[in-house]
Amino acid sequence: MTGEKKTVPLEEAREQVRKVCARLGLLHIAFARTLINELGEEKGKELVLKAIKGYGIRIGEEAKARAEAEGGDNEPANFKSDLPLYGMHAGAETVEVAGETRRRAYGCVMGEVWNEMGEGELGRLYCYVDPAKYMAFNPGYKLIHTRALPDGDDCCELVVRPTTEQERKDFAEKDRDWSYIDR
């Protein structure tokens, strides 16, 4: 080895991340569709949401540990983005809507894949990772979608809001329905 650093043009890096995101979207549909086909619509979706909740909890706990290691607490401002900066979305912006700061992401690769497959509704279950990770980071807050590409919107729009006591209770219970949190 010469110790020389290799660089990759930004557009190439974006394309590589886009490919991984497309594959992740396909993987989600494959697993979700298999569960539904084997167990029926209701039980299959229930297990998909259970898996997504577990996935989100792992992400939230990791984010919490990272914030604490950096000397911060688990307030929403200390939740560091866990998504790639390049390639997962075509672009993003922060906007003010009805007194709330919201993040809009355009061109979600996974949402586009799901919609192209006619699986937007099933793909959308993956998006429940967002409230799950935030509630694992700090149960007092949730990150919810006010708009979502898989729902037919032109972008994904997310906002952090306080949770209710009932939402915290339902999320904490192992077998309770918590999916209403992001509807």
Domains in the chain and their CATH numbers? 10-182 (3.30.1380)
Each of the 183 residues of the chain gets a pLDDT tens digit; together they read 567 888 989 999 999 999 999 999 999 999 999 999 999 999 999 999 999 999 999 999 999 999 999 999 999 999 987 788 888 888 899 999 999 999 999 999 999 999 999 999 999 999 999 999 999 999 999 999 999 999 999 999 999 999 999 999 999 998 899 999 987
DSSP conformational letter for 164? P
Residue with tokens 């900066």: 85
Residue with tokens 């919609």: 115
Q: Taking the mean position of all CA atoms in its chain, how far away is CA 38?
A: 25
Alpha helices in the chain (DSSP H): 10-39, 41-69, 109-116, 120-124, 129-137, 165-172
Q: What predicted TM-score, i.e. pTM, was given to this entire model?
A: 0.91
CB 158 within 8 A of CB 145: yes
Buried-exposed string 104-141: b where 16+ CB fall within 10 A, e elsewhere: bbebbbbbbbbbeeebbebbbbbbbbbbbbbbbbbbeb
